[in-house]
Chain A
Amino acid sequence: MAAQRGVLFQEKVSRLLSKQHGRPVLKPNKPLVLKDEVANRRVKRGGASCVTEISVLMACWKQNSFVESVCSAEMKAFYSCVDEAQAAKKNTSELSGVQGERLPPKQATLLLKRFPNLRTEI
């Protein structure tokens, strides 16, 4: 079915280019061939992590006029939260190769470069 659709599309393109019925609709200056790469999409960053820890730490600072030695427990909690968040991000970024049943753009480009599109007929 995909092959049929491809053939029909090529016929439509050749009709648009032909000069048999008056002026051609398309006058391309470059060959009508797709590029061997995909545009990079901007990675949408996820939600804010460790917000509660930050607010707790800042409340402690505000109370004790920014003396560090008093807030050591909150600081430790904050650092452990940050470490966990980083580890979680690392794990998810390794696994999220498939983003919504779609290949990530870098891998798509790699595959397209390995099997490039034909640009000339010979």
Chain B
Amino acid sequence: MAASISGLLKPWTPRVFLVRWSRYNPYYLEPEVRKEAYIKPEAELSAEEKEQRELKSLRPIKAATNDVTSSVFNDPVISKFVGMMMLDGNKILANEIIAKTLENIKRKQVDKYHKAPEGTKEEIECNPYAIFHQALENCKPVVGLASIQKGGKFYQVPIPLSDDRRRHLAMKWIITECRESKHRRTLMYEKLSQELLAAFVREGNVIKKKLAMHKMAEANRAYAHYRWA
């Protein structure tokens, strides 16, 4: 009891201190956190990789953020999804929601596995990370629309999208769909698991949205020549 009272009298100091700045000189290189990149023996490195290693031994490197770890469970795609789902900086809550979502997916799939007849047991995917990645792939649009001005009017022109943009659109659609169109009492992780499992088999509202985007692009394909670069 004495320890706890004296603990209250001490000034509050944070347990985690930020070491990484947000604005670095462009001279600094990004840190490589994955263990696989360092396990490779010298002989297997190509010329570019050898050059990269030389460069890394000479240049300063940025500090790694608190989100990335070198553990096997670190997934940059899931980290990005968590960051996109976070509200008001509450990353703990976002992480918990994602953890519950993956657990929920696993439960449903294992349930299906045990109820399935003998022949179809191997086809059921039980790994929630694999399901998440495949669902995200299924939700990514192939072409996007850009609003380009020509002769005073704005036309919706189909353009190719970069990988980052496609991934961002897929994640944003999933999150907006789960936030807005669910039953009043459904919790976020429940709705997320439903949407991800539906996207895994190419059903559900997010896939419909992607197809709507594709249809718009197809309808406006005549304007594809309006795209500069």
CA distance A54 to B218 in the complex (A): 9
Dominant secondary structure at the A interface: helix
**Which parts of B186-229 form the interface with A (CB within 8 Å)?**
202, 211, 214-215, 217-218, 221, 224-229
**Which parts of B126-165 form the interface with A (CB within 8 Å)?**
142-143, 158, 160, 162
Q: Which residues of B contact A82 (CB under 8 A)?
A: 160
The 8 Å CB contact of B224, one of A46, A54, A66, A75, is A54
Q: How many residues of B contact A (CB 8 A)?
A: 18
Q: Which residues of A contact B160 (CB under 8 A)?
A: 50, 54, 78, 82, 85
CA distance A49 to B225 in the complex (A): 9
The 8 Å CB contact of B215, one of A51, A66, A89, is A66
The 8 Å CB contact of A45, one of B162, B214, B218, B228, is B228
A residues in contact (CB < 8 Å) with B = 44-51, 54-55, 57-58, 61-62, 66, 68, 75, 78, 82, 85-86, 89
B229-A75 in contact (CB<8A): no
CA distance A44 to B221 in the complex (A): 23
Query: Could you name 21 residue pairs across A and B whose Cβ atoms are closer than 8 Å?
Result: A44-B228, A45-B229, A46-B229, A47-B228, A47-B229, A48-B225, A48-B227, A49-B229, A50-B160, A61-B214, A61-B218, A62-B218, A66-B211, A66-B215, A68-B202, A75-B142, A78-B142, A78-B160, A82-B160, A86-B162, A89-B229
